[in-house]
Chains A and B, each alone.
Chain A
């Protein structure tokens, strides 16, 4: 009780100090309170039990929304950041539609990334006692009903957000208290050696015409700035980088990860800066310092490449989401896909002396249910009550057609994917070790399954069956995400290696994708480098023979006995030219399996929707290795 008396004393003394509106004593105690929650999790100095100098593959999701995101809350999500971490560690949580969600295999790391603007605000609007519930845009928030009403409310809030009045409901007091909970919860669930959490948030800016410029900001340590930088501070990502740079000076190390470039209508990987100037060295340095990684795949589609951009890549038509984010407006492929950005980076390097697009690759989900959703046969999509079953997400016909011949719900959810995992090679499962791998770009992305991909380049690499392969590859070469200098008279060697997900289909083929500049032209080529089932690569077409793996669409069973547990190759580029500026990355492909929409249809006892792919080949993409000519 004396403790409380002294507290009251402090408060009453400070209340009587009339020369200061912002009470210093109260302020100080508040800061102390916040600090105390921040430092809950300390990184132990000692190595954890799983420490491995040759590095382990860890899998995680760095794009997770909870009840604090304005849209997630409208969609019915009441799961908290703590629920999200509980789920990632293998726990069971409930979907707003009432079913349980649980992972077969827990994840190694997870980062909650709620939208910075309106952080926690919509949830507060639903509280009829709150001041903000009286704002006109809050009307109906406490009594949201079905999927259609929630969809309408979402569009209404989006329209308000894009209006000049957007700031009216961006209450920083609500935002701060949500942000403090996000930070404290991440720190509480961080468990070095077993499970890593990252403090983070989503910067949700759009380019003038609505092109998506979204990024997730991920912090390395257990502290973060007082409030996140949001689209209401600036719609220009260059201002975000300035803010991140300034905070880095203050000890808040972070990186930003762009996502859904596919839905950006060409604005994610532009060839000018935000104000239309050429991309110079200063721009490239700042962008790469702050954005070493890009999310290549997620529920809203895959951004590797597009059939219009890569007409000679037979696998380019993979989980293409053709729209601008949250709309039915089409998104132009140019400037929207990763492979083209790599090529444009090389082009910019030749023209302006700097490559602003030298980023590594991860996948993540962008779930708005707090729960990673990457299993085709256990899919709940990502926007709560709006897409919680096959009818709502357009894979199962409506009970009554909307109009003659219009048998499915009018929605874009049918263009979405059960996708998005981030893979990293790190010594141990700790924040420091995994964040270092982000910085090194020793990362890969998968379409949801847990393939493990290794990729090295060098001039004296070991043979692929060497017992000390990895040690020697690190010693004599560089790993994915790195640069290798071209060397006159020498040809670079590559090691590509993939190991299957034991709980998914076996592997079909292993590829290396090359992009390069030739006489000022951007070129690309897909090389198969290892085939399953005893096949060998045709030296003219660079293709493996078809291994004949099939899917039975009656029950989703797959051909038994086909495919490989591992595929690996020592490889040299048959078209190597020492003067070329080039990049190489790995794409590993599983045998075909049923897509989520086919599982939906089978479970509903109907035919798979004819205009959707019935099967897909789950795949992984490594970060590239760039081979730079000596100039």
Chain B
């Protein structure tokens, strides 16, 4: 007998019997289970998404029967309190409500809201120092030197240089972009060059470059209009993170939290 008591199956049988016994003691009338047309459609649709086929009449009948059995078991499980102290049920419910809370982000944000979010987070929307320039590429320094001298004499040199995969001109390139294209440290050599004249040659790992700065764009905040989309999505993310917390805080207002004195 001692060994029998330690068998999980024996315990299962005892517990089951007592649940069913308990159940039989509960007086009950006959509850209604109403299978609505909408419910039937949902069952049919679920079948279709799972199997890719429409359910036949027989299949649908059997699916509905299954659903009714499941419904009876579900109601009985609730009645017996089997949802209590079940961490999976608890987590699922909490997660569902969490999703709903996060969806409660209110109406589309007003422009003024975005404006204030934008200015509070202006560093996220600040564009770095950028250069726009033309570029001529030479394999040897002497030719590059000769061409820059020609330019200083007022001659047009824009058709000189060797063709390469490098572009003839670049617009609005940050120092990081320029170093990615011409090699680390190249952007430093643009620092302080005058705008509007051919300069160089500047050495890179490709060879020698003459550079004609067309403009220098100082670090500046991107106008709100040009980054409205990303401000909108950042703000949405910010609100989403906040929505759940605000929801929890609002619910907490309705509770008095007491701690057991130790």
Contacts and interface: CB of A to CB of B under 8 A. Distances in A.
Interface string B65-104: 0000011001100000000000110011001110111111
Nearest to A25: B100
B205 A565 contact: yes
A442 to B, nearest CB: 15
Interface string B129-166: 00000000001000000000000000000000001111
A44 B226 CA distance: 11
A11 interface: yes
Interface in A605-623: none
B233 A565 contact: no
B127 to A, nearest CB: 11
A499 B102 CA distance: 49
Contact of A33 (B34, B99, B250): B99
Contacts of A49: 171-172
A61 B250 CA distance: 44
Contacts of A30: 96, 99-100, 103
A173 B91 contact: yes
A40 interface: yes
A556 interface: no
Nearest to B179: A105
Interface stretch (B3-11, B180-188, B211-219): B180-188
A627 B163 CA distance: 29
Nearest to A18: B75
B100 A11 contact: yes
B191 interface: no
Interface stretch (A1-9, A63-71, A137-145, A395-403): A1-9
Interface stretch (A350-358, A375-383, A500-508, A538-546): A500-508
Contacts of A466: 163
A550 interface: no
Contact of B204 (A36, A40, A131, A502): A502
A32 B251 CA distance: 22
Contacts of A281: none
Contacts of A44: 229
Nearest to A1: B250
Most buried by A among B96, B139, B181, B184: B96
Contact of B165 (A3, A4, A29, A452): A452
A429 to B, nearest CB: 11
Interface in B179-232: 179-184, 186, 204-207, 229-230
Given A105-B176, A191-B230, A469 B181 contact: no
A454 B163 contact: no
A26 B205 contact: no
A6 B248 CA distance: 15
A11 B240 CA distance: 19
Label chain B's interface by main secondary structure. helix
B117 interface: no
Contacts of B179: 105
A246 B88 CA distance: 32
A177 B95 contact: yes
Interface in A307-347: none
B163 A40 contact: no
Interface in A36-61: 36-37, 40-42, 44, 49, 57
A502 B74 contact: no
B29 interface: no
A497 interface: yes
A131 B164 contact: no
Contact of A41 (B36, B88, B100, B233): B233
B261 to A, nearest CB: 25
B165 A454 contact: yes
A436 to B, nearest CB: 21
A450 B234 CA distance: 32
B164 A21 contact: no
A41 B71 CA distance: 41
Nearest to A59: B180
A467 B160 CA distance: 11
Given A37-B240, A500-B206, A565-B164, A29 B99 contact: yes
B114 interface: no
Identify which of B71, B104, B180 gathers the most chain A CB atoms within 10 Å of its CB. B180
B110 to A, nearest CB: 16
Interface residues of B, number: 53
A57 B166 CA distance: 11
B38 to A, nearest CB: 8
Given A18-B75, A500-B206, A26 B96 contact: yes
B205 to A, nearest CB: 4
Contacts of B36: 19
B163 A469 contact: yes
Q: Which of B34, B39, B230, B251 has the most CB atoms of chain A within a 10 A radius of its CB?
A: B230
Nearest to B100: A29
B247 interface: yes
A506 B70 CA distance: 70
A34 B99 CA distance: 8
Interface string B23-54: 00000000001101001000000000000100
B205 A21 contact: no
B75 A4 contact: no
A40 B236 contact: yes
B121 interface: no
A500 B205 contact: yes
A497 to B, nearest CB: 7
Contacts of A173: 91-92, 95
A106 interface: yes
A497 B71 CA distance: 68
A192 B166 CA distance: 23
Contact of B205 (A11, A465, A503): A503
Interface string A108-150: 0000000000000000000000110000000000000000000
A284 to B, nearest CB: 24
Contacts of B250: 1, 4
B34 A19 contact: yes
A40 B230 CA distance: 9
Interface of B: 33-34, 36, 39, 52, 70-71, 74-75, 87-88, 91-92, 95-97, 99-106, 139, 163-166, 171-172, 176, 179-184, 186, 204-207, 229-230, 233-234, 236-237, 240, 247, 250-251
Given A40-B233, A465-B163, 10 more contacts: A4-B104, A30-B100, A32-B103, A33-B100, A37-B236, A41-B229, A42-B229, A104-B184, A177-B95, A503-B183
19 contacts: A1-B250, A7-B247, A26-B96, A33-B99, A33-B100, A36-B103, A37-B240, A40-B237, A44-B229, A105-B179, A130-B91, A131-B91, A454-B165, A467-B163, A499-B165, A502-B204, A502-B206, A506-B205, A566-B206
The list of the 5 closest CB pairs from A to B, nearest first, reads A502-B183, A33-B103, A499-B165, A565-B206, A40-B233
